[in-house]
A and B are shown apart, each in its own frame.
Chain A
Amino acid sequence: MQKKHSWTRRDFIAKPAAFLAASQLLKPSGLLFAEPSTPAPAATKKIITRTLGRTGFSLPIVSMGEPANDNPGIVRRAYELGIRHFDTAALYQGGKNEVLLGNAIKDMGVRKDVIMASKIEVMQQGKTVDPALAGPQLKTSFEAGLKRLQTDYLDILYLHNVDDLSVVAMEGLLQALTDLKKQGRIRAIGISMHHAEPVLKEVVRLGVYDVVLFPFNYSMATDQGLLAAIESAHKSGVGIVAMKTTAGNFGQTGGLPGVSRGAPPSGPPSGQAGGPTGGQAGSPQGFGPGGRLGVSGATRTALLKWVLRHDMVATLLSEFGTYDHIEQNFSVAYDLAYTDDEKKVLADKKLIASIEFCHQCSQCKGSCPNGADIPTLMRTHMYALQYYPGTGHPHETLASIPAGRGLEACSNCDSCSASCAWTVNIPRKINQLQAWQKIVQA
């Protein structure tokens, strides 16, 4: 008689086979090895929150930037998962983005539970703002924004994309913002920028702005000036919100992964874990598969964690194109420890080398026997072939180089001997710039 629980030879073969067959049959229906619908945090783990400077707002460390086009489901899902800070701007989709966010928050009935932030552009699309009109125009734009957002106050109102220090300190604007805060129409005054270091210093000096929003990502890891400016702002009580945390939207910068669309960092590429990165070499150009971000999951979460492992950053704005993005990105809000895959991403030296972002450190200057102004030539290359193709910027930059130190200095050499202390292939970029010059002069 067969003992209970003992397997015969037939059992030994048949049972595993039956199990395998069942697993293949059941797997498509999701009944076997079903994945949870939301990332399952460890039982002991909670959403990490931080205080946004002197505002006192306690926020999850991952927030939502620019809600997806005409899809309130994204906002709802973000709220479901635990996001409590939603950012938009009057400029996005001509104001419709504010309408989308306002509708979603109102439909959910959670206005009091969330931090709503929006931005008003004061530069009027490149036009210099008139100091006499700046304050009244700001207030008019603000009222229109409140109406779109269907709220009677904003938690954070930013001046949108201001790098001009004279605008940062413009009395009319500061007075208008302060008035709105005193009236309770806004709870915190913010400013968003791309050239962060000088603006942060001015923000600290003025003592009026409560929150700052700027690009901060792994490609800036050794930008000591920027890091010091952030630290200083943080210590002075300014709330720090990071954006462009996956080093820019791939495909919008000439196909160079990891290149931020913001201002080039002022320091050399990172020595930490091999240097700056922002995505995998060969990331899709433009907006291909994988969505607008175009990077793998581990790359994305590695980059987000790197930002958030700086305690001075209260929260970062993450753009979510798909529901998968929300779940993946928000998963870092539970745990900032790097996984093995994320460590590999940050240690990938080939990826870092592929970035070749000139950080204008000028250490290359001595390596050219003809005294070519290599940093400016590299900047010209960046403008001509990456950032400002088809505009006058590269021509102006090239023209600004003193005679004898531009590309004409290169024509005396059969091959370029200039070398970069980091990862830039100077000879190749000079060749490309010379080719570009021939084309535009033709």
Chain B
Amino acid sequence: MDSYRTKAVESAARLPRWKTRVAQLSAFPVLDRRGGRRWVALTALLALFSFISVAGATAYAQEGTTASAAPVSEALRAQLLKLIPDPLPGEAHAQGAPTYYAANLWEYIDGAADQYQLYGLEGMLHQEFKSGKIDVTVDIFYMGKSENAFGIYATERSADAHFVAIGTEGYQSQSSDGSSATLNFLLDRYYVKLMGFGTGSPSLLDAFARGIAGRIGASAGWPELLARLPTAQRLPHSELYVLQNPLGHDYLSPAYSVKYSTGSGEASLVVSVAANEAEAQNRLGLLQKHLQKDGKCDDAPEFGEHAIRGSTSYEGEILARATGRYLVLMINPSGSASEIFREALTKLK
């Protein structure tokens, strides 16, 4: 018997009987064969009990509130309120108290709320102001994570918008007579949307936006993965972060996509981010299965091991290959798209 077990047995011998049993069961599992099995059984029972306790507590908590229905906390409200510029631009004054939204955002923007919830909205401040004859609405969405803020911002921006250098990026639109305007911008974990009604609203919104951006104070930046993707021939402002069901397939979630001009049209590079290499391979297998079921799929060895080329009538042609934890796809791989695909695979290795 080794010294560890000797000491364990000797210690157990000096204890009351019930403590001896516990000591035996909690001792090194190979103390003896029966003790080892009982140790495993006790450990399993403890694990089961812990699981039940946690599950029960979770279920009880979910009866009242869940993460998705959690109120906008006082701390977050204070955080959002601090972003309102002080002093207010244009000698504006607040119209009423701010309103905070979370799971009930649909009351404010109906079906459009779905996207915000999808991207993990944690809280939103809505406040109206008046400056002379100009009405301003400020909506500040706190998305919790910078990539989520980018995600919701990118779903709404159009490539042909009038972009402004506010925050990480912003865009503005105004009516032809300048009597109304909107300005949306992204910065860190915030997506800020401003609306103005009244002559002079575009410049007032600009002042509000810069004031809010200054108070957010974070440094501007894009999601890190986008910087690793090919930049040549990239269509400006085409980047997206799709949190759910990219390309209509839930197993590809989440994914980044970028569009490229390929000389013979447009192609989309999609990078599905898996937890690890095995999961990325699994996603490739599922995609292959889908293509075989609904269309056709062949190996594409010219792009490396396990690369595939397939198509369906409704998705068009797709190239795909896993590299590390990423499943990389190229949709409509015409013209120079194949080279862009290869470059992406290299950069993501």
Instruction: Tell me if chain B binds chain A.
Output: yes
Q: Is B2 at the interface (CB under 8 A from chain A)?
A: no
Nearest CB on B from A399, distance (A): 15
Contact of B244 among A37, A292, A387, A390 (CB under 8 A): A292
Contacts of A292 in B (CB 8 A): 114, 118, 244-245
CB pair B65–A160 under 8 Å, yes or no, is: no
Return the CB mask of A88-103 against B: 1 if under 8 Å, else 0. Answer: 0101111110010000
Return the CB mask of B315-348 against A: 1 if under 8 Å, else 0. Answer: 1100000000000000000000000000000000
Q: How far is the CA of A35 from the CA of B73 in the complex (A)?
A: 50
Contacts of A29 in B (CB 8 A): 292
Nearest CB on B from A121, distance (A): 8
Q: How far is the CA of A261 from the CA of B156 in the complex (A)?
A: 23
CB pair B123–A390 under 8 Å, yes or no, is: yes
Nearest CB on B from A248, distance (A): 10
Q: Is B314 at the interface (CB under 8 A from chain A)?
A: yes
Closest A residue to B238 using CB positions: A70
* A126, A254, A386: residue with the most chain B Cβ atoms closer than 10 Å: A254
How many A residues are at the interface, by size bracket?
35 or more
CB pair A390–B106 under 8 Å, yes or no, is: no
Within 8 A of A (CB), among B224-251: 240, 242-250
Q: How far is the CA of A160 from the CA of B62 in the complex (A)?
A: 33
Q: Is A419 at the interface (CB under 8 A from chain B)?
A: no
CB pair B69–A322 under 8 Å, yes or no, is: no
Known: A30-B293, A92-B112, A432-B64. A391 touches B244 (CB 8 A): no
Q: Is B66 at the interface (CB under 8 A from chain A)?
A: yes
Return the CB mask of A265-297 against B: 1 if under 8 Å, else 0. Answer: 000000000000000000001110111100000
* A126, A291, A388, A390: residue with the most chain B Cβ atoms closer than 10 Å: A390
Q: How far is the CA of A320 from the CA of B245 in the complex (A)?
A: 10
CB pair B115–A254 under 8 Å, yes or no, is: no
Q: Is B289 at the interface (CB under 8 A from chain A)?
A: yes
Nearest CB on B from A202, distance (A): 19
CB pair A287–B244 under 8 Å, yes or no, is: yes
Q: Is B294 at the interface (CB under 8 A from chain A)?
A: yes
Q: Is A321 at the interface (CB under 8 A from chain B)?
A: yes
Q: Is B189 at the interface (CB under 8 A from chain A)?
A: no
CB pair B111–A390 under 8 Å, yes or no, is: no
CB pair A255–B109 under 8 Å, yes or no, is: no
Q: How far is the CA of A121 from the CA of B113 in the complex (A)?
A: 14
CB pair B314–A289 under 8 Å, yes or no, is: no
CB pair B102–A389 under 8 Å, yes or no, is: yes
Return the CB mask of A25-49 against B: 1 if under 8 Å, else 0. Answer: 0000110001101000000000000
Return the CB mask of B56-68 against A: 1 if under 8 Å, else 0. Answer: 0000001111111
Contacts of A30 in B (CB 8 A): 289, 292-293
Which of A72-80, A222-230, A367-375, A405-413 is found at the contact surface with chain B?
A72-80
Contacts of B77 in A (CB 8 A): 390
Nearest CB on A from B100, distance (A): 5
Q: Is A342 at the interface (CB under 8 A from chain B)?
A: no
Q: How far is the CA of A289 from the CA of B245 in the complex (A)?
A: 10
CB pair A286–B110 under 8 Å, yes or no, is: no
Q: Is B174 at the interface (CB under 8 A from chain A)?
A: no
Q: How far is the CA of A34 from the CA of B126 in the complex (A)?
A: 53
Q: How far is the CA of A255 from the CA of B117 in the complex (A)?
A: 13
CB pair B293–A285 under 8 Å, yes or no, is: no
Q: How far is the CA of A66 from the CA of B156 in the complex (A)?
A: 14
Q: Is B70 at the interface (CB under 8 A from chain A)?
A: yes
Q: Is B158 at the interface (CB under 8 A from chain A)?
A: yes
Contacts of B69 in A (CB 8 A): 253-255, 385-386, 389
Contact of A68 among B111, B240, B245, B257 (CB under 8 A): B245
Contacts of B203 in A (CB 8 A): none
Nearest CB on A from B99, distance (A): 6
Q: Is B264 at the interface (CB under 8 A from chain A)?
A: no
Contacts of A7 in B (CB 8 A): none
Nearest CB on B from A318, distance (A): 13
Within 8 A of B (CB), among A411-436: 428, 432, 435-436
CB pair A91–B158 under 8 Å, yes or no, is: no
Q: How far is the CA of A289 from the CA of B240 in the complex (A)?
A: 21
Q: How far is the CA of A196 from the CA of B224 in the complex (A)?
A: 46
Contacts of B115 in A (CB 8 A): 69, 92-93
Q: Is B103 at the interface (CB under 8 A from chain A)?
A: yes
Contacts of B62 in A (CB 8 A): 255, 285
Q: Is B85 at the interface (CB under 8 A from chain A)?
A: no
CB pair A92–B250 under 8 Å, yes or no, is: no
* A95, A287, A290, A320: residue with the most chain B Cβ atoms closer than 10 Å: A287
Q: Is B172 at the interface (CB under 8 A from chain A)?
A: no
Contacts of B123 in A (CB 8 A): 390
Nearest CB on A from B308, distance (A): 14
Closest B residue to A37 using CB positions: B294
Contacts of B198 in A (CB 8 A): none
CB pair B137–A125 under 8 Å, yes or no, is: yes
Q: How far is the CA of A289 from the CA of B109 in the complex (A)?
A: 26
Q: Is A251 at the interface (CB under 8 A from chain B)?
A: yes
CB pair A323–B293 under 8 Å, yes or no, is: no
Nearest CB on A from B37, distance (A): 34
Q: How far is the CA of A386 from the CA of B104 in the complex (A)?
A: 8
Closest A residue to B193 using CB positions: A94
Contacts of B214 in A (CB 8 A): none
Closest A residue to B195 using CB positions: A125
Give 29 pairs: A residue, B residue, CB < 8 Å, sorted on A: A34-B293, A68-B245, A69-B155, A69-B242, A70-B155, A71-B246, A73-B247, A76-B315, A77-B314, A91-B111, A92-B112, A92-B115, A125-B109, A251-B68, A251-B117, A255-B62, A261-B106, A286-B67, A286-B68, A287-B243, A287-B244, A321-B244, A322-B248, A323-B290, A385-B65, A386-B69, A387-B103, A390-B123, A391-B99
- Point out residues on A near B: beta carbons under 8 Å: 29-30, 34-35, 37, 66, 68-71, 73-74, 76-77, 80, 89, 91-96, 99, 121, 125-127, 160-161, 194, 249, 251-255, 261, 285-287, 289-292, 320-324, 384-392, 428, 432, 435-436
Task: List 18 additional A-B contacts (Cβ < 8 Å) besides A387-B107, A388-B107.
Answer: A30-B289, A66-B111, A73-B247, A73-B314, A80-B313, A94-B156, A96-B158, A99-B158, A251-B66, A252-B103, A253-B69, A255-B68, A287-B243, A292-B244, A323-B290, A385-B65, A389-B104, A391-B72
5 nearest CB pairs, A to B: A254-B69, A390-B72, A389-B71, A390-B71, A94-B156
